[in-house]
Structure 1
Amino acid sequence: MNLSEPFVRRPVMTVLVMAGILIFGLASYRLLPVSTLPNIDFPTIQVTAQLPGASPETMASAVATVLEKQFSTIAGIDQMTSISGQGTTQITI
């Protein structure tokens, strides 16, 4: 006796089992929770450094670059951006 023999001998039972599986699957599908915008936490850190009177070039080379080198040693950082302006620099990790 093989696995398919009872299904071949009893086609009505086979149809009823398949209908039951279909109904159970449709009911389960309807009960699945679905959200269009799930709540996902993207951990970010913003660091702001100020040096009054410094030019954007000075902020980028003397402050932002040094901080970026230090922050790059932290494990697990995927992305880092920095913006330097007159007397301020902002680094987003």
Structure 2
Amino acid sequence: MILLIGIVKKNAIMMIDFALVAEREHGLSPVDAIREACVLRFRPIMMTTLAALFGALPLALGYGVGAELRVPLGISIVGGLIVSQMLTLFTTPVVHLWFDRLSHWLAARRMRRMTSEQATIQ
């Protein structure tokens, strides 16, 4: 579990960090920034996941003395990496865009509240 959480977290941080830099420094919209981050960070993310997956394959395909104890661990690591990778690649951009919309909505709400308070004071 710790391995899977660490890999997913690292992948999401790489993607979001790249998108935020593209938004701030290159002036891209959030949609364009996260799309560019997904395209450019896809290969390093896949390389990390595939390295961990291929490292767990001997456990999953193991045989011999004591293999019945190690095979379930290998299968759960391989399956967890595949599922978590799909979830990371598809949900991280969506969550990033949701948080961007939420921040814009809260900023607009804060501005409306400030203008209504100023109107009441005057």
Tell me, yes or no, whether TM beats 0.5: no
The structure whose residues are more often helix, as a share, is 2
Find the structure with the greater CA-based Rg: 1
TM tier, shorter chain? 0.3 to 0.5
The structure whose residues are more often strand, as a share, is 1
